Amino acid sequence: MKPEELEQTLVLIKPDALKNSLTGYVLSQLSEFHTGLSFAGAKIVHVNQLLAEEHYAEHRGKPFFPPLLEYIQGNVHYPDAPDKRRVIALVYRGPGAIQKIRDIAGPTNPHVAREKRPGCIRALGTIVPIKDAEGNVISERMDNLIHASANPTDAEREIKLWFRPVDIPSLMRAYPTEVCEEHFYFKGNQLYTTHEPESVCLLAPGDIVWKSDLEALHALQNGMPPCCSLQAVAAKYLINEDRE
């Protein structure tokens, strides 16, 4: 198969879509019948602060970053029901997967989506003003129902952030893997190769890991610049663990 036929993309069905019971609608819009794409991975994720920050790292420092983190973590749509704070993370694969899903999702801003692309998924989204303590509007939040990777580089970074290799059947993996031969532990934003009290074991000998993650961990061990941050590697292993 040619590389473009194996193209993969990450889709997140966000908390506002779940709250508004649009999950089935989104899944049918993206179905193989309509798009020619098929699933490679799926998981229900209770998004923690680390994962939210890593996913939206490019927006760090922007005024809408804090409300964006609250939104993706489900705090906005389920303030009184922590058990319902979830997103559905999906990997789709197939020819032109990234552009096909971006087209069905539509423009980022739901108002623009309604004007320019009525019928797209984000045309059903909402813009919410963010106010300070005095009630002045200081920013806005775009509740736009789904996320879809923007390009192949983002898709690779995002799929590796949300999915371990073993979450994806081996025949459907798009990126190289390796077998880990050491222990790696994480605690207080630090990497350890031996167990520390209260540390989390990220990897153990025999685990299948994204090759680039292992390269990043080895670079960090040797004081070299890693291809992705320790937080980006660790976030995936802490998904649904309820500890950071």
Q: Which residues are catalytic?
A: 147
Answer with the entry of ligand GTP, Mg ion, none that 155 interacts with (C-beta below 5 to 8 A by kind).
none
Residue nearest to ligand GTP (CB): 108
Per residue, what are the HEC states of 135-152? Answer: CCEEEEEEECCEEECCCH
Q: How far apart are CA 99 and CA 146, in angstroms?
A: 14
Please count the residues of this chain forming the interface with ligand GTP, following the rule CB under 6 A: 11
Helices 211-221, 230-237: crossing angle, 10 deg rounding: 130
- Residues 144-173 binding Mg ion (CB under 5 A) are 150
CB atoms within 10 A of CB 69: 19
Judged by CB under 6 A, the stretch of 43-51, 143-151, 176-184, 226-234 that binds ligand GTP is: 143-151
Q: Does 147 bind ligand GTP (CB under 6 A)?
A: yes
Q: Cα separations (Å) of 138 from 71, 124, 129, 144, 229? A: 16, 24, 8, 19, 31
Residue 182 binds which one of ligand GTP, Mg ion, none, with CB within 5 to 8 A depending on kind?
Answer: none
| Binding site partner of 140, from ligand GTP, Mg ion, none, Cβ cut-off 5-8 A by kind | ligand GTP
Return the range that interacts with ligand GTP (CB under 6 A); candidates 146-154, 170-178, 205-213, 217-225: 146-154
